[in-house]
């Protein structure tokens, strides 16, 4: 296992379009997190899953955002009707519950809405 | 609510200088974890250290050292004999001891090491 993988690395989209990002966590990790990072800021928590269950969503996650982890493995984050304010780095992380080992981040997907 | 403050937005040093990055945190939890990550220009977060709230021993790893002081709610990071490759944004983060274990990050400190 080579770590947390995120695709695509970069995405440029026109305002109003829908985009979807994918995250493949470390296989034995049961928790998966999504964070968003804007320029000059630290990452901010969006949501997390334990196995396939979405257990918490931040108020930052508007109704245009939806995340899934259908089989408890990979996850997708979809943004509908993108706005320029959605431009950010979207980071995925995975861990074992209890932080027993690693809290590993992927390389992120950089979204630019034009 | 949990909060992490990294008051230093940017620091610039000359190679071989020592540099300390400050991190102050707020939490009501008695069990929590503190982290430091390095974020190079490519964007990925590179894990540096995790410390739990019951372990106040300072840690040294090569040129890196960390000073955890619960009395001042600080978890500072020192790079000794800095190198150009140390140039990056450094992020301090806090996690509760149970529940979601989501990370609350500071805004980061951009370190530039000049040759």
Any residues with CB less than 8 A from the CB of A37 and at least 6 apart, and which?
A: A43, A44, A88, A89, A90, A91, A108
Cα–Cα nearest to B75, from B30, B26, B40: B26
Kindly tell me if the per-residue pLDDT of B98 is higher than 80: no
**Is B10 in the A-facing interface, judged by CB distances under 8 Å?**
no
Q: Which chain B residues are closer than 8 Å to A67 by Cβ? A: none
The length of chain B, given as a count of residues: 115
Closest-approach residue (CA) in chain B for A49: B100
pLDDT (mean) for B45-49: 91
Better pLDDT: A21 or B56: A21
**Confidence (pLDDT) at A112:** 98
B43, B50, B103: residue with CB nearest A110: B43
Instruction: Give CA–CA dist B105/A54, Å, rounded.
Output: 21
**Confidence (pLDDT) at A42:** 96
In percent, the amount of chain A with pLDDT more than 90 equals 80
The length of chain A, given as a count of residues: 114
User: Which residues of A lie inside 8 Å of B (Cβ-Cβ)?
Assistant: 31, 33, 35, 40-45, 48, 55-56, 89, 91, 93, 95, 97-99, 102-108, 110
**Is B105 in the A-facing interface, judged by CB distances under 8 Å?**
yes
Region at B30 (left for phi over 0; alpha for psi -120 to 50; beta for the rest): alpha
Q: Quote the minimal CA–CA distance from A15 to chain B in Å.
A: 24
In 3-state terms, what secondary structure has residue A17?
coil
Q: Quote the minimal CA–CA distance from B21 to chain A in Å.
A: 15
Which residue's structure tokens are 């274990």? B101
Instruction: Give CA–CA dist B98/B34, Å, rounded.
Output: 13
Kindly tell me if the per-residue pLDDT of A60 is higher than 70: yes
- φ/ψ of residue B30, rounded to 5: -90, -25
**Confidence (pLDDT) at A1:** 53
Kindly tell me if the per-residue pLDDT of A47 is higher than 80: yes
Q: Are A10 and A31 in contact (CB under 8 A)?
A: no
């Amino acid at each position: 296992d080579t770590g947390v993988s995120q695709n695509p690395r970069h995405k440029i989209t026109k305002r109003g379009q829908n985009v979807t990002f994918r995250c493949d966590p470390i296989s034995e990790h049961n928790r998966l997190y999504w964070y968003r990072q804007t320029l000059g800021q630290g990452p901010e928590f969006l949501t997390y899953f334990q196995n396939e269950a979405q257990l918490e969503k931040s108020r930052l996650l508007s109704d245009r955002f939806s995340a899934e982890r259908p089989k408890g493995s990979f996850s997708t984050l979809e943004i509908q009707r993108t706005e320029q304010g959605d431009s950010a780095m979207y980071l995925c992380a995975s861990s074992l519950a209890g932080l027993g080992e690693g809290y590993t981040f992927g390389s992120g997907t950089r979204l630019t809405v034009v | 609510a949990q909060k992490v403050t990294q008051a230093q937005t940017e620091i610039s040093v000359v190679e071989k200088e020592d540099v300390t990055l400050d991190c102050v945190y707020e939490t009501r939890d008695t069990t929590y974890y503190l982290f430091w990550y390095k974020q190079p220009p490519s964007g990925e977060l590179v894990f540096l250290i995790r410390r739990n709230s019951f372990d106040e021993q300072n840690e040294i790893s090569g040129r890196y050292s960390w000073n955890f002081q619960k009395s001042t709610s600080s978890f500072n990071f020192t790079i000794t004999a800095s190198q150009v490759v140390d140039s990056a944004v450094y992020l301090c983060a806090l996690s509760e001891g149970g529940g979601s274990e989501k990370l609350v990050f500071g805004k980061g400190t951009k370190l530039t090491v000049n040759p």
